[in-house]
Structure 1
Amino acid sequence: MVVDIMHMRLGRKTGPKPKFTAEQVIDAVLRIGLDKFTMSQVARAVGVGAPSLYRLYNSRDDLVAACLEEIARRRPWVSPQVPWPDMLREWSRYCWELCEAFPGFALTLYTYPFPQVNFMKSVPSIVEDFTAAGLSKDIVLFALDFIGDTAITIHLGVSAYRAGPDDHERRDLIQRNLEISNQQLDTDLSALLYSPDIYRDLVEPKIEFIIAALQAGIRPPAHGFGQLT
């Protein structure tokens, strides 16, 4: 009896079945932004009180994990069946598009502990896709991580220069600091920051450099991240 009572206290709240679904909750989080939502905001979005959410999720972090798993389910990696250099280009684009599709995704990847565990189910098949395309097995995870990080961190940086249509204070700050930076660097960064194709202008050159290095036979140290044995 004591064990049962302790379990009830530590686990999710008991009571009547919630009148909303996990999908509705996750949809609300993804609309608000994975990096900035509060449980109260989500509850209002689905029309319930905040305590009701804890019948499905033990904490905000628990809900973030559920959202990451749902993102992996909704936008799975699909192999383009091309040679590994082209496949790495597609991997970069895939990572970028995840960040574009789900506001706050990039920041969450760098603030939530071990977010990759929510994508682990697909890792073996992804690795197999790349090794089948000719990428050396001993560096496949390193290459995926390196290129994914490049695309995601650039997106994270660019996001700092984006402001909502009603966020006039933020827009003024961006413009003011842009003008100062242009003077300091004796150049105009506007073309890059406000490019109609930021991925092409900011991400692709770095990805091409990484791929060229791999094609030239440059390899990470044997003890580097992602080595497969």
Structure 2
Amino acid sequence: MSSVDVDGGSAARSVGKKAGRKPAFTSDDVIDAALAEGLDRFTLSAVAQRLGVVTTAIYRLFASREALVVACLDRAAATIRLPERGADWRVVLRLFADECWRVCEDFPGLSRVVYDYAPAFTRIEDVLTEYARCLAVHDKTEGQAMFALDFVGDTVFACHMGVESWRNVDDSGASGFDQVKAVVGSGSIIEPRESWRERGVVDVKVDFILAGLEHRWPEI
């Protein structure tokens, strides 16, 4: 009788849902999922859903959403190219502008997080230090270097945040650019231009900053 019970139990288990280990995932998987959701808007529940796990499982690797934001910022920071020692200061600052724009493009929502999350800039301390060293070769003090890097970076991030608003599409399928064009008359001083959806304006502003630095390097 007992042998029949055992066999019957085994048969019952074979047709039911098999118990198994929870899906395995790594911290990199969590970061990938958060970035896919958008750095400025991801929720832990949405990240968990992408990974096919319960939300509480995320806490095994990240104590909070803020901790995950920091990890995403570190991922972005690790991709930033550094200048060559001895490069002209203009080349150094243009590279910094290029890299600020690129990380904004590669990591959607980054520009908004930079302004919403006060400690965000601390995640690129090593990057800023290396850029400052390259500017020091040209007799620029640490304060002068930080002024220039902050000015360039702030300009690029702010411009990219504006560009994102031009690109965003609402429920009707209209982009921010389309919405503005619909209410602004042709020939208006604020009539949107196609270049406003890309980085054309950014390059003009960076050129202006560099032209000013030809004459004066303030300190912060």
TM-score (norm 1): 0.78
Shift of 1:188: 3.6
Aligned counterparts, 1:56-205, within 5 A: 56-73=61-78, 75-80=79-84, 82-132=87-137, 134=138, 136-137=140-141, 138-164=143-169, 167-169=170-172, 171=174, 174-182=177-185, 185-186=188-189, 188-194=191-197, 198-199=198-199, 201-205=200-204
Q: Distance in 2 between matches of 1:127 and 1:58?
A: 33
Q: Distance in 2 between matches of 1:173 and 1:94?
A: 25
Q: Distance in 1 between matches of 2:70 and 2:40?
A: 12
Please tell me whether the aligned partners of residues 18 and 55 of structure 1 are also in contact (alpha carbons under 8 angstroms): no
Over aligned residues, Cα RMSD in angstroms? 2.4
Higher relative contact order (CA 8 A, sep 6+): 1
Identical residues among aligned pairs (%)? 31
Shift of 1:178: 2.1
C-alpha distance 190-52 of structure 1, shift in aligned 2 (>3 A): same
Please tell me whether the aligned partners of residues 182 and 188 of structure 1 are also in contact (alpha carbons under 8 angstroms): yes
Q: Distance in 2 between matches of 1:160 and 1:147?
A: 20
- Structure 2 residue aligned with 1:11: none
Larger radius of gyration: 2
- Write out per-residue CA displacement over residues 37-85 of structure 1, whole angstroms, 9 at most, x where no aligned residue: 1101101111210011111111111110111112112x13321452001
C-alpha distance 111-172 of structure 1, shift in aligned 2 (>3 A): closer
* Structure 1 residue matching 2:118: 3-state secondary structure: coil
Q: Distance in 2 between matches of 1:148 and 1:177?
A: 27
Unaligned runs of 5+ in 1: 1-15
C-alpha distance 71-171 of structure 1, shift in aligned 2 (>3 A): same
- Structure 1 residue aligned with 2:24: 19
Residue 212 (structure 1) aligned with residue 206 (structure 2): no
Shift of 1:31: 1.3
Q: Distance in 1 between matches of 2:28 and 2:34?
A: 10
C-alpha distance 88-135 of structure 1, shift in aligned 2 (>3 A): farther
Shift of 1:29: 0.9
